[in-house]
Structure 1
Amino acid sequence: MSKEAQREKQDSGDRGSRAADTDRIQVAQLLTDAAAQGRLQLSEYEDRLTKAYAATTYEELDRLQADLPGVTVSPRRGGVCKPAPSTLLLAIMGAFERRGRWNVPHKLTTLALWGGGVIDLRYADFTSTEVEIHAYSIMGGQTILLPPEINVEIHGHGVMGGFDHRVPGKGTPGAPTVKIRGFSLWGDVGIKRKKRKARRSASDPR
């Protein structure tokens, strides 16, 4: 067998082998890049993103990015997820906000004390398949916005306040899971699914 035939056989075997979580996350980020640059319409982006999270083989992932200009399919497969560093967001008589394109860490802690905040995950880059959000509102309020495909588990509670538990819709199998814990005291933690909007420009992700 020639070297070229051997390479083709190896490439074919790689494409049919099982994809890792890191590969799905990487492709999801490439698709988000393409959408931000206007190379994918919103509906096409969301469709491909759902398929990327549900993909089980490299061949499926390669098909989702093969027609994107300037994208080279990485020959390196698998590897360990490297989540962004844990983050603490405080709104003490003030406000915090995470919107648009940002790296979601494995662990995020938020505190709204006589203040408010917004965590918008619709356009964010996930860096791990599981995200823990510890949300605390004391005489304040905060809102967590989830895109349609993300899975969610909620274990928080409210004391003379509100902590959303019922989030309509189901996520996509294989998509990241956001686990939300915490409490509200005379405050509110709102958790909602919200559809993405078509971006008017790269500088206006909302």
Structure 2
Amino acid sequence: MTAMPEDRLPLISDDERETAVRRLQEAYAEGHISHEDLDERLHQVLTVTSRRELVSALSALPAEKADTASTIAVAGGRIRRRGVWRVPRRLKVESAFGRVHLDLSRAVIEHAVVDIELQLGTGRARITLPRDAIVDIEGLDTGWKDSRYRTTRRSRPGGPEIRISGTMGFGRLKVRHAWR
């Protein structure tokens, strides 16, 4: 593979820059880098234009914490995640009105246990899981309708454990395993 000329390297986005600043601040707060090192690296992060330079500014920092929670929230409308997407260790889904569909059948699940917290007002939720997933919905409080979950007939051992908790007002949760 040939290297791209320096003037054709993809520029970094504002989100990438903000993430790098946050990582530097966390490293300083945790005592991994000195105040002088923080100043130098912040200047570098705020002035670089390419990803290669950004990676250089973040070198020798500890890896990001993988156990952070992600939140998907809407007041009304749909929440839909499907296809190939990275599932965080803890996922919080909030919706006052609307439908939720989380399809984890083709998602990248890097953790042995994934906690999904639902905070739903009205509307229904559907979660499609990988065929080998183990499901725990004991932590879910349903106000109006019961949850529907059927175990898969042929499952393989060794899949991730998906723990679903939270509250649902006037809706139904349907959990199923993918067919393939």
TM-score computed with the length of structure 2 as normaliser: 0.57
- Residues 100 and 151 of structure 1: CA distance in aligned 2, closer, same or farther (over 3 Å): same
Describe how 1:13-52 pairs up with structure 2 within 5 A.
Answer: none
Other-structure match for 2:124: 141
Other-structure match for 1:164: 148
- Residues 174 and 168 of structure 1: CA distance in aligned 2, closer, same or farther (over 3 Å): closer
Distance in 2, Cα, partners of 1:98 & 1:164: 20
Other-structure match for 1:99: 82
Q: Which has the higher contact order (CA 8 A, sep 6+)?
A: 1
Picking from 148, 172, 176, the partner of 1:192 is 176
Is 2:132–2:158's contact at 8 Å kept on the other side of the alignment?
no
Picking from 167, 173, 180, the partner of 2:157 is 173
TM-score computed with the length of structure 1 as normaliser: 0.51
- Residues 167 and 136 of structure 1: CA distance in aligned 2, closer, same or farther (over 3 Å): farther
Distance in 1, Cα, partners of 2:114 & 2:80: 18
Distance in 2, Cα, partners of 1:167 & 1:135: 20
Other-structure match for 2:97: 114
User: 1:8-52 CA deviation, whole Å, 9 max, x = no partner?
Assistant: xxxxxxxxxxxxxxxxxxxxxxxxxxxxxxxxxxxxxxxxxxxxx
Distance in 1, Cα, partners of 2:81 & 2:67: 14
Please state how far the C-alpha of 1:87 moved relative to its aligned partner.
1.3
Other-structure match for 2:166: 182
Larger mean CA deviation between 85-94 and 143-152 belongs to 85-94
Is 1:83–1:127's contact at 8 Å kept on the other side of the alignment?
no
Q: What is the percentage of aligned positions where both structures have the same residue?
A: 25
Structure 2: unaligned runs, 5 residues or longer: 1-62
- Structure number with greater Rg is 2
Distance in 2, Cα, partners of 1:190 & 1:135: 13
User: 1:59-104 CA deviation, whole Å, 9 max, x = no partner?
Assistant: xxxxxxxxxxxxxxxxxxxxx9x74742111232111111111111
- Residues 162 and 112 of structure 1: CA distance in aligned 2, closer, same or farther (over 3 Å): farther
User: 1:120-167 CA deviation, whole Å, 9 max, x = no partner?
Assistant: 011011121110011132112211101211111111131112323443
Q: Could you tell me which amino acid in structure 2 is paired with residue 180 of structure 1?
A: I
Is 1:109–1:134's contact at 8 Å kept on the other side of the alignment?
yes
Is 1:112–1:142's contact at 8 Å kept on the other side of the alignment?
no
Structure 1: unaligned runs, 5 residues or longer: 1-79, 197-206
Is 1:167–1:191's contact at 8 Å kept on the other side of the alignment?
no
Which secondary structure state, in structure 2, belongs to the residue aligned with residue 162 of structure 1?
Answer: coil
The structure with the largest strand share of the pair is 2
Distance in 2, Cα, partners of 1:127 & 1:86: 14
